[in-house]
Amino acid sequence: MNRRPNVLFFFSDQHRGDWMPYDNATRKRQGTEELALEMPNIKGMMDRGVSFTEACTPAAICAPARACLAAGKRYRNCRVDTNKVNYDTALPSFYKELSDSGYFVTGVGKFDLNKADLDWGDGCHKTLQEMGFSKALDSEGKMDVVWATMQGTPGPYGRMLKEHGYLDAYMDDMSTRGNSPSPCPIPDELYADNWITERGCKLLSELPDDQPWFMQVNFSGPHDPWDITERMKKAMEDRNFPPAADCPFREANLEVRKNYAAMIENIDSNIGKLLEALSHRKDAENTLLIYASDHGEMMGDHGLYGKAKPYNGSVHIPIVIDASRIEGTIHGKCFSCPVELQDLANTILDYAGISRPDSLESISLRSILTGKKEKIRDYSISELINPNRKGLYTTFGTISDGDFKLILESGKQPRLFRISKDPFEMDDVSSLFPEKVKELENAFLDRGESFCPVSEEYAKAFNAV
């Protein structure tokens, strides 16, 4: 087939980068050699393709990370500083570039590009249409169901739960769950990621045969709260997982970790169903496969849950690319070189034959997949502006060369960790390696960027410069 390749992109929410079925050497380096996860479908993609074991998110929170991906920009230039800002469709996106070049662009699940409005319409709202989507079923994240329902505008998933008589039970469960590992009251067939998969399989079957297509499947898990069905809970009864690093509530954390693992394994099972649906298409062998997550999850490390933290649990993400159907590529190799989530934008456009110059904000990973390079950038960068409950802003930035990682945080001295030997960032070695601190600090401040006047004024508006 001479047609440009299709792209099937599996995108999860809050899957930390070390909870993956990497090879033994990688797992040992990441401190997860005792972590046993059953992920045969993602593992199959890894075996056929390439895994980036030290990938990071440009912003460890949902909407900004997804805006960075869409625009192929770093956080400072994505125009979405918090979850309370919608994507600015005046900013170019790789979705629109695909659409303008003749791709049928579609997707299902939690896009989070219109999050601030809590209004999903029929699933293909104005934001997605302006970004070039031909068709979509955008739906709420977990707590968005609660908040949208409270204001009288439940999205597609909330409306589906209401239609089946489960919305009230879902609202009660989510409103009081917290970190409880107890099973949720939702049956398997209505569980969010299973419903997203069912809709995704239907969407796959309806894709056009006469043009290339891009499809993004946005899972709502393994985002907290860690609600899992009775079946998923039962499957974890006899499973054990290593405790979190520096966690003062280890016993309770182990139960939460079982739920988190169940959600990841359920996503993998759903990917298997989507791959099966893909196999029935005539153009299946002309399809690029990608798996990634928007950001990570602390999962008890340093006594913390959630995201929006400078530690690896929050910033480190998985990225897997299987281009084995498209061209001759390296198979089954793990690369520990620095890469960033938004590098996927230029990678996808590269495979689609769309010219977009690489910059330090987004660099195509294709040269690594084909064996031409082993490294595309010297450092990976993540940063975030966090509004706190007092209305003030705290900021942090991280930069890593794959061996060392520097954390810059407002009001604190720089902290340096040798993550290749200390993956859970327990020992600050900044006093032992002052030259490395200076090198990484200078690289972070430089970023290889030049602000245009409009971008600079926008950044100043939320204290980003």
For the CA atoms of 92, 220, 157, 110, the dihedral, rounded to the nearest 10 degrees, stands at 0
Listed in sequence order, the residues at least 6 apart from 394 whose beta carbon sits closer than 8 Å to its beta carbon are 385, 386, 388, 409, 410, 411
Q: Are 85 and 63 in contact (CB under 8 A)?
A: yes
Residue 188 DSSP symbol: G
Phi first, then psi, for residue 440 (nearest 5°) are -70, -35
Closest by CA to 98, choosing from 20, 210, 266, 212, is: 212
In this prediction, residue 458 has a pLDDT band, given cuts at 50, 70 and 90, of very low
The model's pTM is 0.95
CA distances for 148 relative to 15, 65, 158, 176, angstroms: 24, 22, 8, 17
**1 lies in some domain:** no
* Tens-digit pLDDT profile for residues 175-203: 999 899 999 999 999 999 999 999 999 99
Whether 186 and 79 map to the same domain: the answer is yes
Of 321, 345, 374, the domain-final residue? 374
Percent of the chain with pLDDT over 90: 85
* Tens-digit pLDDT profile for residues 115-140: 999 889 889 999 999 999 999 999 99
Q: Are 37 and 247 in contact (CB under 8 A)?
A: no
**403 lies in some domain:** yes
In this prediction, residue 149 has a pLDDT band, given cuts at 50, 70 and 90, of very high
Whether 280 and 401 map to the same domain: the answer is no
Whether 227 and 302 map to the same domain: the answer is yes
pLDDT in the model for residue 393: 66
* Tens-digit pLDDT profile for residues 422-437: 999 999 999 999 999 9
CATH number at residue 453: 3.30.1120
Whether 107 and 155 map to the same domain: the answer is yes
Helices (H), 303-452: 312-315, 343-351, 366-369, 434-446
pLDDT in the model for residue 358: 75
**291 lies in some domain:** yes
Instruction: Give the rounded distance of the alpha carbon of 241 from its chain centre.
Output: 23
Whether 279 and 416 map to the same domain: the answer is no
Higher pLDDT, 356 or 209: 209
In this prediction, residue 390 has a pLDDT band, given cuts at 50, 70 and 90, of low
Question: 218 lies in which domain range?
Answer: 6-374
What are the strands of the beta sheet with 405-409, ordered from one edge? 380-387, 393-400, 405-409, 415-417
CA distances for 175 relative to 144, 147, 169, 294, angstroms: 11, 10, 10, 24
Percent of the chain with pLDDT over 70: 94
In this prediction, residue 169 has a pLDDT band, given cuts at 50, 70 and 90, of very high
Arithmetic mean of pLDDT, 52-62: 97
Of 326, 345, 374, the domain-final residue? 374
